[in-house]
Amino acid sequence: MFMIAIATLTSSAATPHTLDKKVTQVQIQAVEGDIRVEVDASARRIVVETRDRRPGHTCALELETSRDQAVLTFGPKSLELATECRMDFTVRLRPDDGLAIALGSGQVDVREVATDLRVAVTEGDVRLSDVGSVHVVVGHGDIALSNVNGSADLSLEKGRIHGNPRGAVKASVGEGHIHLDELDAPVSAQTHVGNIQLTYLSVPRGDLNLNAGLGNIVVDFPRGTAVQPDLTAAGGSATCDLPFGTDLSVNAVAGMGSILLR
């Protein structure tokens, strides 16, 4: 691994910083700030542009490179406690660059990254649009999905998961709701406290496994869908308005809530 300091970034820094080296994986690490990632189909290099918000903050951008990986780190210029560093930035990738993001506090907005994507945020929202397979872990915040074309593995401590993923979904929320639309693939979803609401455009090829500890479960299917339900609602009602059949199995448990398949 080879490390270089690309730049010291201040509130007035606006010059793009570039990386020409060809890599297969890009990792972005930051303590605080909003991160936007876009793909430029014609790009031959990685471009970092700052979009600062806090005057007077002094940050350092460091780069570590290996044979096939680049790590971009945004952080305080020094380890002194008085040094503050919050700076928003945009990273423009090449179409085949893999991506992993680790952020302490702030928002992540990723668009048109077709390769596998991994995002970890302690506190802040994550918005993913027109991406491939994703693995997202968030402490407090929302996860918004728009045209996620691969599988989605989502874990959230407190907040809401919503949007329209196209592939299989595995979602877990401690406190908050799961609301997914325009589905056509299997979903495995769990909330400790919160509702689960799913709407399907077509019958998925695979079973549904849903568990709401304290909350309701509602699933809407296309007209004529025949299901094999296994429903348990300890503290409410369990209702299936669909014909019995073998199109798919729906396994749903609501500890303190109701279940409705329609």
Strand-strand pairing, 87-93 and 46-52:
antiparallel
Q: What is the mean pLDDT of residues 35-39?
A: 93
Rounded Cα–Cα distance for residues 147 and 93 (Å): 19
Q: What is the pLDDT of residue 63?
A: 77
Instruction: Tell me the pLDDT band of 12, cut-offs 50, 70 and 90.
Output: very low
Q: What is the mean pLDDT of residues 108-129?
A: 95
Q: Is 252 helix (H, G, I), strand (E, B) or coil?
A: strand
Whether the pLDDT of residue 23 is over 70: the answer is yes
Instruction: Tell me the pLDDT band of 193, cut-offs 50, 70 and 90.
Output: very high
Domain ranges of the chain: 2-193
Rounded Cα–Cα distance for residues 34 and 32 (Å): 7
Q: What is the pLDDT of residue 77?
A: 58
The pLDDT mean for the chain works out to 87
pLDDT tens-digit map of 53-66: 555 566 777 777 77
Instruction: Tell me the pLDDT band of 81, cut-offs 50, 70 and 90.
Output: very low
Rounded Cα–Cα distance for residues 109 and 90 (Å): 9
Rounded Cα–Cα distance for residues 97 and 242 (Å): 45
pLDDT tens-digit map of 135-169: 999 999 999 999 999 999 999 999 999 999 999 99
- Which neighbouring-strand residues pair with 70? 26, 65
* pTM (two decimals): 0.90
Whether the pLDDT of residue 19 is over 90: the answer is no
